[in-house]
Amino acid sequence: MADIVTAAMIIIGDEILSGRTKDRNIGHLADIMTAIGIDLKEVRIVPDEEDEIVAAVNALRARYTYVFTTGGIGPTHDDITADSVSKAFGVPCEYDAQAYAMMEASYAARGMEFTEARKRMARMPRGASHIVNPVSLAPGFRIGNVHVMAGVPSIFQAMLDNVVPTLKTGAKLLSVTVHCPVGEGTIGGPLAEIQKRHPDTIIGSYPQYLDGKFSTELVVRARSPQALEAARAEVAAMVEGLAPTP
């Protein structure tokens, strides 16, 4: 069986914490990670404060296989992600020659001034490699196991498309759903016992309320088809035993 590969996400920005901007990147990253067999284990939202960003980067990069950050790599004074990640790794934040030349040429071709603010987007930690940005050119970057990308959803998604082929993937979680016609309160005890007997699975319980009636969707997840089926069979038997007689 393939190794288990894990990931965490750091969303950087006061605008997310204030509610001014609604995050649209968590769900996309979760979908992609699940599809390629990487477990997204944790998401943190931090403000535009260097100490908070450094602490989050250092905590998560030590704990998980990969860390993905979004936000804070634009041209304004509060875009401090590159500086903060550099500090977390203990290296200088400096203009990347390739990024600088590429952006300088692009602005010149469009007849636009390559201002000091725009030059900020060519800064990254010494030793970092580029994450290609096919939407607006200014690259993200990768250093160690940390991937730093834009917060704008269309740009984040395009950058992530270029990151995915470079990642080590793991054993994918398989899943199956069993519909239960009663609420969680009725099945909580028996379901917990089934989970104990099948520690290699994850059994989720998701209540629903429709037309005045409670029901529950029971989702069994496992990396082994055999483990999945064994747990599913027990869950299905439990539901069958609880279902009302026609």
List the domains of the chain with CATH numbers: 5-166 (3.40.980.10), 174-242 (3.30.70.600)
pTM for this structure?
0.85
User: CA-to-CA distance for 85 and 137, rounded, in angstroms?
Assistant: 21
Q: What angle do CA 235, 206, 38 make, to 5 degrees?
A: 85
Cα-atom radius of gyration of the chain, to the nearest Å? 23
Specify the length of the chain in residues: 246
Task: Provide the CB-side half-sphere exposure for 75 (13 A, CA).
Answer: 9
Tokens standing for 120? 């900020």
User: CA-to-CA distance for 48 and 190, rounded, in angstroms?
Assistant: 46
Q: pLDDT value at position 78? A: 92
Q: What angle do CA 214, 219, 222 make, to 5 degrees?
A: 165
Q: pLDDT value at position 243? A: 56
pLDDT tens sequence across 149-170:
999 999 999 999 999 999 999 8
Which residues of the chain fall short of a pLDDT of 50?
A: 1, 245-246
pLDDT tens sequence across 172-221:
889 999 999 999 999 999 999 999 999 999 999 998 888 888 899 999 99
Q: Is the dihedral of CA 72, 46, 30, 225 positive or negative?
A: positive
3-state secondary structure of 199: coil
Q: pLDDT value at position 211? A: 82
Q: What angle do CA 117, 120, 126 make, to 5 degrees?
A: 170
